[in-house]
Amino acid sequence: MRRAQLAVLAAHLTPRDRWIAAMVHEHRVLTTNQVTALGFDGARTARARLAKLVDPLRLLDRFRPRVAVGSAPEHYVLGPAGAGWLAAAYEMSVKAFGYHRNRAHQIAASAHLAHAVGCNEVFTAIAVAGRRDPAAGRLAAWWSEARCARLFADAGARPDGYGHYTTAGIDQDPAEARSVRFFLEYDTGTEPLGKLAGKFGGYGKLATASAPVPVLFYLPSATREANFHRYLTDQRPTFPVVTTSPEALLSAGCGPTGPVWRPVDGRRVWPGETTRRLELIDLDALTRPVRLRQRAAGSPAVHLPPWWIEPPNPLP
């Protein structure tokens, strides 16, 4: 990227623009609706600003996938100027940053597109719920599938995303703050149930090595959710497993932060109750308290891996 282009971007980019570039880089693809819900108060303002970030600034690239009925929203990926700007901000070359324009656009033709957009939609709904009702909680962290793969692949776990939902930082006694860290598995219904359950081994190893973290399975229908619970009747995972579906959200009249998460048998909070659903923040009751060991004085500090780039905050 030429220095003149960086100078042009420096004169035009707002903090929200820089946040959009970082979010699109972290999560690979975001739709107009998702970016609007996360960072804007009006759809018209969002569309106008996103159009300018595509042309002339080239911070983003966009495409619109074909659908059978109606029209899909615009899908945004990181553009060449956005990659150059982020690389300069992290004081590295574009090559070291790992950006290739062709690779960024591969998601447009990938069978993984619907999965990526659907997973990002769940996290977007969680973040937006905290934006609308800050007293209920907020999404403090949202890590992408690629970041999770690089962090947890050694244990055999490949979550579709990692999140941290908390009431900390809200007007209340800090001692009463609640937090739940979770992994998300977004199921599109194309895999057999046995393959979904086959992921338990990696999560079990991860729970043994660190601490049990709830794994949230977002299933495409109530029928598949019920079948999944029946399939797991004889299994007792070593970590909390909860499920939900679009029908559960519609029935509860709320988003994924509401009482829509159903623990699998063997991980109940209330004995004898198998169908009661929990709010997202209530999933902290499914994990036993973990006493973290403090680093001893004089011991070496924890070093982040060389590829680590701090993920953006879920909200600008």
**Model pLDDT for residues 145-163, shown as the tens digit of each residue:** 999 999 998 888 999 999 9
Buried b (16+ CB within 10 A) or exposed e, 239-254: bbbbbbbeebbeeeee
Q: Does the structure show a pLDDT above 70 at 291?
A: no
Mean pLDDT confidence for 49-57: 96
Mean pLDDT confidence for 212-232: 95
pLDDT at 131: 85
Where in the chain are all domains bearing CATH 1.10.10.10?
3-110
Task: Note the pLDDT tens digit of each residue in 238-264.
Answer: 899 999 999 999 999 999 999 999 998
189's torsion region: left (phi>0), alpha (psi -120 to 50) or beta? left
Please work out, in degrees rounded to the nearest 5, the angle formed at the alpha carbon of residue 257 by the alpha carbons of 253 and 262.
85
Task: Note the pLDDT tens digit of each residue in 164-212.
Answer: 999 987 666 667 789 999 999 999 999 999 999 999 999 999 998 888 8
Query: By CB neighbour count within 10 A (0-12 exposed, 13-18 middle, 19+ buried), where does 105 fall?
Result: middle
pLDDT at 270: 41
Cis upstream peptide for 56 (omega within 30°): yes
Q: Does the structure show a pLDDT above 70 at 144?
A: yes
Report the side by side order of strands in the sheet with 75-78: 30-31, 75-78, 60-63
Q: Does the structure show a pLDDT above 70 at 294?
A: no
Lowest mean pLDDT among 3-17, 144-158, 181-195, 302-316: 302-316
Task: Note the pLDDT tens digit of each residue in 37-52.
Answer: 999 999 999 999 999 9
Query: What average pLDDT does the chain have?
Result: 89
Q: Does the structure show a pLDDT above 80 at 296?
A: no
pLDDT at 276: 82
Instruction: Give the span between the Cα atoms of 107 and 109, in whole angstroms.
Output: 5
Quick one: pLDDT band at residue 297, thresholds 50, 70, 90? low
pLDDT at 267: 43
pLDDT at 212: 87
Which residue matches tokens 């937006």?
A: 128
pLDDT at 60: 97
Which residue matches tokens 């996103």?
A: 50
- Pairwise pLDDT comparison (65 vs 233), residue with the higher score: 65
The CATH-assigned architecture of domain 3-110 is Orthogonal Bundle (1.10)
Lowest mean pLDDT among 32-36, 236-240, 267-271, 291-295: 267-271
Instruction: Name 2's bridge partners.
Output: none
At a CB cut-off of 8 Å and minimum separation 6, what does 226 contact? none
Task: Note the pLDDT tens digit of each residue in 90-119.
Answer: 999 888 888 988 889 999 999 999 999 999
Lowest mean pLDDT among 44-53, 228-237, 265-274: 265-274
Q: What is the pTM of this model?
A: 0.91
Instruction: Give the span between the Cα atoms of 89 and 71, in whole angstroms.
Output: 36
Among 124, 288, 287, 292, smallest CA distance to 214 is for 287
Among 23, 12, 13, smallest CA distance to 315 is for 23
At a CB cut-off of 8 Å and minimum separation 6, what does 309 contact? 90
pLDDT at 288: 62
